[in-house]
Each structure stands twice: as C-alpha cells, then as structure tokens.
Amino acid sequence: MTDAAKHGLTHYREDGAAVMVDVSAKDVTAREATATAVLLTRPDVVGRIASGDLPKGEAVAVARVAGILAAKRTHELVPLCHPLPISGVEVDVVPAGDRVELRATVRTTSRTGVEMEALTAVTVAGLTVYDMIKAVDRAAVLTDVRVVAKSGGASGTWVRPDDGAAGPGGDA
C-alpha cells in the first residue's frame, strides 16, 4: 500500500497513480459553493471600470459572463474534476476604492461539490478584468482567491472562519 492510500488520499490508486474519484456511491444532494477574489489596481482604474470607460469596453458584464462560462467548463481545465450539471452560477464584480471584489456562487444537484467550479469562475472573472485593464494598469494583481462557503454532501455546511459574514449565496 502506498503512503497516499494509507493516509486516505482519494485521488490515488494503490500503486500511486492519480485517478478521478468514483463518486457513484455518493448520494445526489443539492450543493453550493461560494468563492471570492480581489483584483488590486489604482482608484482611477477602478473608476474607469465602474463607468465602463476602458479601451476594451465594459469590463463588469464581460467578466461576469466569463466567470459563468468558466464554471461550466471547469472539468475541461482541471483534470480530475467531474463534469457536473450546473444548476446556477452567480458572479458579482464590484469595483470599490482601489480594487475589484469578485464573488462567484455555483449550485448543482449532484454527487460531488462545486468548490472547484466556484474557484474557477471567480478566477476567470478576475483574469478577464485584468485583460480588460492591462492597457491602463499592467501592475494590477489578482489575489486572495479562496472558497468562503460550501454546503451539501456528506460534509454539510462550511463557512470560512475569517469570512463569517459570507454564507452560501452571500447571505449572513
């Protein structure tokens, strides 16, 4: 038995090869995950994002759609993710001060969770904002990408301890 198998790591076979976990024995349940990220830039750039005055156009709507598309295609980007029947995706892109706050909530009714889909959505939304502002601020930084809440499945509900105000879907 490999060290991975001894320690209960689920993405490894006995011989140590990586595998996609078989979730066929898991219950189908409603599942939800929320992830957040921050794109740091200058206040003048944030103003241009908010007003839609960028060389590439209106960043907020484009980033929102990019995040939704990314959530639906996560299994094509992350090798061991299962393709999931996504029930809903919400992506918020909020310009504020010297930053753009990004939040994605993904829902499914399935045998496995949607944390990776929420992370992918918020990351691609942030990358899209960067792409749209790079002509005016190449020094912008996408940071603090993290899951802040998840619900459903055998492990139930989890909320990031340092983000207690953010429950699934953004509710406190």
Contact assessment for residue 118 and residue 33, using Cβ atoms and an 8 Å cutoff: yes
Q: Exposed/middle/buried for 19, CB within 10 Å: 0-12, 13-18, 19+?
A: exposed
Catalytic: 137?
no
Integer Cα distance of 113 and 48 in angstroms: 36
| Closest CA relative to residue 153, chosen from 34, 8, 23, 36 | 23
**DSSP line for 105-152:** EEEEEESS--HHHHHHHHHHHHHHHHHHHTTT-TT-EEEEEEEEEEE-
Structure tokens belonging to residue 77: 């980007």
Contact assessment for residue 29 and residue 109, using Cβ atoms and an 8 Å cutoff: yes
- Catalytic residue (one of 92, 98, 131, 163): 131
**27: amino acid identity, one letter:** D
Contact assessment for residue 37 and residue 147, using Cβ atoms and an 8 Å cutoff: no
Residues classed as catalytic: 131
